[in-house]
Amino acid sequence: MRRDGGTGRGGRERLVRLLPPLFAAVLAVDLIALLAGSGVGHAVAKPLLMPLLAGYAALRGAPRTLVAALLFGWGGDVFLLLDAEWAFLVGMGSFAAGHVCYLLLFGRARTSPLLGAGYGVALVAVVLLLWPDLPAPLRIPVAGYSLLLAAMAYRALFLFSDTLIATGVADWPQAPVPDFWIMLTYGAAQYLLATGVLTSSSAGRPLPTGPAAAPSPGVRPRS
């Protein structure tokens, strides 16, 4: 009995050590696929990212809210692979639910009011600039989603990735291989948020329980 328990714990610890480098490897495959123009590679790698991170978080004893945030991100990832307006709206809703989970985790965390206001103003300015060029059915959902981003805008990697998506939906000029930059910043943001929560939990610092938000590139299918 003891030996079985020890074996189980050992296997769990090995899996915990394995999942972060596996996540990094799959993200690298996804980024390489985007640079190479491989839609198949991207479609295979992208849906694996958040389940790997969610599994890692669960094995580390993460709050259920964090696991839920990552799984909502997975839902958004999958739906945004589909080239349909309804799928885009469902994916954006899934990302929004993930943002709410992160707000629940971090909502009471202290942040500079000036910095938060600055990001909020920048996001509102982007929405106003994009508004005339956004498809009419997407204007209100994008504006509402932007309010969630403003609530957690100091997580700047999310702001950057979602702004890139919004400019793509509005058919604005894009940087070369925009999906590469979207996935790079999105993957980094999700990983940093997850490990930040886990570090706070393991250090014994109580996590705040106010409104929350999660990452999500969500205004155009991230291919």
pLDDT in tens, 31-53: 999 999 999 999 999 999 999 99
pLDDT given for residue 169 in this prediction: 47
| Distance (Å, whole) CA 57 – CA 198 | 7
Count structural domains, the chain.
Answer: 1
pLDDT given for residue 36 in this prediction: 96
Residue 84 located in a structural domain: yes
| Distance (Å, whole) CA 218 – CA 201 | 29
Cα distances from 170 to residues 82, 119, 176, in angstroms, run: 18, 21, 16
Residue 148 located in a structural domain: yes
Residue 213 located in a structural domain: no
In this structure, are residues 216 and 98 in contact, taking their beta carbons and an 8 Å threshold?
A: yes
pLDDT given for residue 192 in this prediction: 84
Q: Which residue has the higher pLDDT, 154 or 180?
A: 180
Residue 217 located in a structural domain: no
Statement: residue 177 has pLDDT above 50: yes
The CA dihedral of 81, 82, 85, 87, to the nearest 10 degrees, is -80
Statement: residue 202 has pLDDT above 90: no
Statement: residue 110 has pLDDT above 60: no
Strands (E), 67-187: none
Statement: residue 146 has pLDDT above 70: no
Residue 53 located in a structural domain: yes
In this structure, are residues 105 and 197 in contact, taking their beta carbons and an 8 Å threshold?
A: yes
Least-confidence region, from 61-75, 94-108, 132-146: 132-146
Round the average pLDDT of the chain to a whole number and report it.
74
Least-confidence region, from 152-156, 181-185, 212-216: 212-216
Q: 183 by DSSP, 3-state: which?
A: helix
Domain containing 95 equals 2-202
| Distance (Å, whole) CA 197 – CA 137 | 36
Residue 222 located in a structural domain: no
| Distance (Å, whole) CA 26 – CA 115 | 33
Rounded average pLDDT over 64-68: 95
Residue 209 located in a structural domain: no
| Distance (Å, whole) CA 70 – CA 215 | 9
Residue 181 pLDDT class (50, 70, 90 cuts): confident
Q: Give pTM, 2 decimals.
A: 0.69
End-to-end CA distance of the chain: 49
In this structure, are residues 217 and 162 in contact, taking their beta carbons and an 8 Å threshold?
A: yes
| Distance (Å, whole) CA 217 – CA 76 | 8
Backbone phi, then psi, for 80, in 5-degree steps?
-75, -10
| Distance (Å, whole) CA 150 – CA 127 | 11
Q: Which residue has the higher pLDDT, 120 or 82?
A: 82
Residue 218 located in a structural domain: no
> C-alpha angle 117/199/159, rounded to 5°?
30
